[in-house]
Amino acid sequence: MKPPIDILKAARSFRYAGVGIYNLFRFENNARIHLLACLLVIIAGVFFKITSSEWAIIIIQVALVWSAEAFNTAIEKLADLVSPDYHPVIKVVKDTAAAGVLMLAISAVLVGGIVFLPKLAALTGW
């Protein structure tokens, strides 16, 4: 009888996803920009001693942006394979996928502002 959960198969899926994460940050310029932004946010979070709720919100924001970037990259690669030449539908597909990343990046910047600007203001005496 087949076991209800195939642990080896799950472990393989984790490995493939790990390769995907590596490729994302190794080869995609925008993903590297998001990685750098994340490192700066971690440094700021440690410096300003933000609360666990603030960390939780920031972690969710970072994960949302990275995840959107991963889906966007996957869509771009698929689109390049399906249509290496210019196609108006591919333009809509790629622009829409990029819009998804931009929307979440804007929300991450706003959340960052809400969390860090008051602390920065208190520090600098604005």
Contact (Cβ atoms closer than 8 angstroms) between residue 70 and residue 18:
no
Candidate list 8, 11, 81, 86; residue touching ligand ATP; CB under 6 A: 86
Q: Which stretch binds ligand ATP (CB under 6 A): 5-13, 36-44, 58-66, 89-97?
A: 89-97
Task: State how far the alpha carbon of 76 is from the alpha carbons of 80, 92, 115, in Å.
Answer: 6, 11, 33
Contacts of 21 (CB under 8 A, 6+ apart): 70
54 touches ligand ATP (CB under 6 A): no
Contact (Cβ atoms closer than 8 angstroms) between residue 116 and residue 44:
yes
Q: Which stretch binds ligand ATP (CB under 6 A): 2-10, 51-59, 87-95, 113-121?
A: 87-95
32 touches ligand ATP (CB under 6 A): no
CB nearer ligand ATP, residue 6 or residue 80: 80
Handedness of CA 74, 78, 84, 87 (dihedral sign): negative
Q: Calculate ∠ Cα 17-27-85, nearest 5°.
A: 100
Candidate list 71, 83, 99, 102; residue touching ligand ATP; CB under 6 A: 83
| Contact residues for ligand ATP, defined by CB under 6 A | 28, 76, 83, 86-87, 90-91, 94-95, 98
